[in-house]
Amino acid sequence: MAEQPALIPLPLDSRVRVRHADNGNGLCMHWLEAGDANHETPLVILLHGFPELAFSWRHQLLALAQAGFHVVAPDQRGYGRTTGWSADPGSDLRGFRVDNLVLDILGLVHVLGKTSVHAVVGHDFGSYVAAWCALIRPDVFRSLAMLATPFAGSPGDAAKPDPRARQLSEALAGLSTLERPRKHYQLYYSGPDANVEMHDARQGLREFLRGYYHLKSAEGTEERPAPLPDLSASSLARLPSYYVMDAGLGMAETVAQGIAQREVGSSRWLSEESLGVYSEEFGRTGFQGGLLWYRAATSFAMQQGLQVYAGLTIDVPSCFIAGELDWGVHMLPGALDAMERDACTRWISTRFIADAGHWVQQERPEAVNAALVDFFTTNR
């Protein structure tokens, strides 16, 4: 067996604990932790997105612990220092279907010796997992904070075709027929080439990640985001190229093209040391584990398996936090309104953070921490 690369020390405050344990669902889960771990301290779980890690919550761990919470941020299935998953593109997708990702977090709650979670918080794809945690097990996950990515609701009833699902399918198919042929990034991520194209990027993995993080941040946003007029191919084509890509390009090539005329130097929010953590970790694991989430989410067979949850609503206190300059909020027309109006029955608040893009909890941590503490204490 080939020798595994050594793990670099994570640049964290000494008060942050690094732990790992069997989660009872096939993983040896790695997580970061802060705060008093006794049974009386309310638990907050932070779920990262793509391409992120537990490390993406480095600015929240101590701040939320100092506010009186036991705070835990895991590397989720397919990511970082959590092991027990396979990066084989032919892996059984049921392991990466969202209800099994929820089971991973339930296993972690059990390992922590807790019976409930005061708040589950998710960013990007982690927002989707957090929403499903609250949807399926409201008895365990008592409140929900979603960052950057709105949750439009549970699956529609198979016996009652959802017209919006048909519209979306037609819009995605229509991208390839535009005068400038395009493709949606989620379908690219679900395909066979994405992992190698990004991991072996011509500009180098570190520079690919630097560019990707830059373009989706406030520093890289050139046009103020706004809701799209409708769910059509021509509307979706208005999104930045990292969401709706040129048909002939991969993501690394898209990023290289996007920053070709820019000076992308040091970032005010992502230090060279932190960028090095992402580069080292994804250099070691590749992206395939995270990409399998997209493959499961875009698989008709996998989505059919979620029909048992059709029509469920999220019935715990819920909120949404996003950067004002994040196009991802508007990526699916109507999702924000559907989340506030229909998907969540106990809606508390929607907050937009100034001078922040997609990586809101890293770009403007103080503002996000204040918003989270306000939400947690209001619903304590």
Specify the amino acid at residue 98.
V
Which among 284, 275, 182, 311 is positioned nearest to 236, based on CA atoms?
Answer: 182
* Alpha carbon distance 162, 340 (integer Å): 19
Which among 182, 165, 159, 71 is positioned nearest to 118, based on CA atoms?
Answer: 71
Q: Hey, which bits of the chain come out as E strands? A: 17-22, 28-34, 43-47, 70-74, 119-123, 144-147, 182-184, 244-246, 318-323, 347-353
Which among 114, 178, 180 is positioned nearest to 141, based on CA atoms?
Answer: 114
CB burial string 186-215: b at 16+ within 10 A, e below: bebbbbeebbebbbebeeebbbbbbbbbbb
Q: In 10 A of CB 3, how many CB atoms?
A: 5
Which of the following is catalytic: 70, 124, 214, 330? 124
| Contact in structure between 337 and 327 (CB atoms under 8 Å) | no
Which among 54, 52, 53 is positioned nearest to 34, based on CA atoms?
Answer: 54
118 is catalytic: no
Catalytic residue set: 124, 358
